[in-house]
Amino acid sequence: MRHIAFERGVNFRDFGGYDAADGRRVRWRKLFRCGQLSRLSDADLTTIEELGIDLVCDFRSAAERVREPSRLPERLGARVRELDILPGASFGAREEVVALLSGMRSGADLTAASHVIYRQIAIDFAASYRSMFAHLMAAKGAPVLIHCTGGKDRTGIGAALILHVLRVPEETIVADYMLTAENDRMQVYIDTLIEHAAKHVALPASRAELRKQLMPIFGVAPDWLHAGFAAMRDHAGSLDAYLAKVLNVTAADQAKLREWYLEAPAKSGSE
């Protein structure tokens, strides 16, 4: 099951199970991605434990972590790596909703800014992804969770880079990225943003109508991820060169990651 049921988690899913170019398949229950972890229930903490997660890469900024501190099993406290990413072109999610509902920014403004944001994430914050791969190497194939606030932009690029190393085709990588649009918990997350905005501005419509207006903005679009890929290619010549020259992920590192996270597909075809 790719979308994993959480009571209060946001956009939590397994990004294993995909076919790689060499005929192998990304292992299930090894690679996970999600949004913020501040509101996890006790049952959610039990699920985290059952998944055996041993490393957490948190791409949120220091301010985001202070505002929404993660709630995780105690044993994972020492296994969290803080890899701050916050592009200058972006507002925080809460600030974006307030700006939208107060008329300071439009949906078109935020959509247009997305290309800039993805390019900034890929180039200005390459060091964070370099660290992500260093931590993956140190984890030696243990189950890993990468996350940010919504689990789609900063996390989306991180997951895309990992899947590229595992030689998953680009169209499959984009399809995985787009699964955010199918995650029911994103609606719940948007409700929390609306509740925050209501403390600052008068809401111009019903909650249901606002949810409908905001979902495209807090969703995903293929051209956003492609903008990040394009920035990497413009900067280094290709995604492989970006990995090698910018992120310092060597050929030996990539071979190890494929050894740890790929397997021969089950003959039954079941997940």
| 78 CB neighbour count, 10 Å cutoff | 6
Which residue is associated with the tokens 């790929």? 262
Q: Whose CA is closest to 179, among 207, 192, 160, 193?
A: 160
- Tell me if 268 is assigned to some domain: no
- Tell me if 229 is assigned to some domain: yes
User: In the prediction, which pLDDT does 124 show?
Assistant: 96
Phi, psi at residue 113, to the nearest 5°? -75, -20
Digit-by-digit pLDDT tens for the chain (271 residues) are 788 989 988 899 999 999 999 999 999 999 999 999 999 999 999 999 999 999 999 999 999 999 999 999 999 999 999 999 998 756 667 777 788 788 887 777 777 788 889 999 999 999 999 999 999 999 999 999 999 988 999 999 999 999 999 999 999 999 999 998 877 666 777 777 778 778 888 888 888 887 777 766 677 889 999 999 999 999 999 999 999 999 999 999 999 999 999 999 776 554 4
- Tell me if 163 is assigned to some domain: yes
Structural domain harbouring 162? 13-252
Output the furthest CA–CA distance in the chain (Å, rounded).
57
- Tell me if 5 is assigned to some domain: no
- Tell me if 265 is assigned to some domain: no
Question: pTM of the predicted model, to two decimals?
Answer: 0.89
With beta carbons less than 8 A apart as the criterion, state whether 7 and 41 touch.
Answer: yes
- Tell me if 26 is assigned to some domain: yes
CA dist., res. 223 & res. 230, Å (int): 10
- Tell me if 257 is assigned to some domain: no
Phi, psi at residue 177, to the nearest 5°? -55, -40
User: In the prediction, which pLDDT does 61 show?
Assistant: 94
Tally of structural domains, the chain: 1
User: In the prediction, which pLDDT does 268 show?
Assistant: 56
CA dist., res. 156 & res. 34, Å (int): 9
User: In the prediction, which pLDDT does 75 show?
Assistant: 94
- Tell me if 225 is assigned to some domain: yes
DSSP one-letter string for 10-72: SS-EE---PBPTTS-EEPTTSEEEES--TT--HHHHHHHHHHT--EEEE-S-HHHHHHS----
Give the DSSP letter of residue 202. Answer: -
Q: Whose CA is closest to 125, among 165, 83, 160, 81?
A: 83
162: domain CATH number? Answer: 3.90.190.10
| 178 CB neighbour count, 10 Å cutoff | 16
User: In the prediction, which pLDDT does 145 show?
Assistant: 98
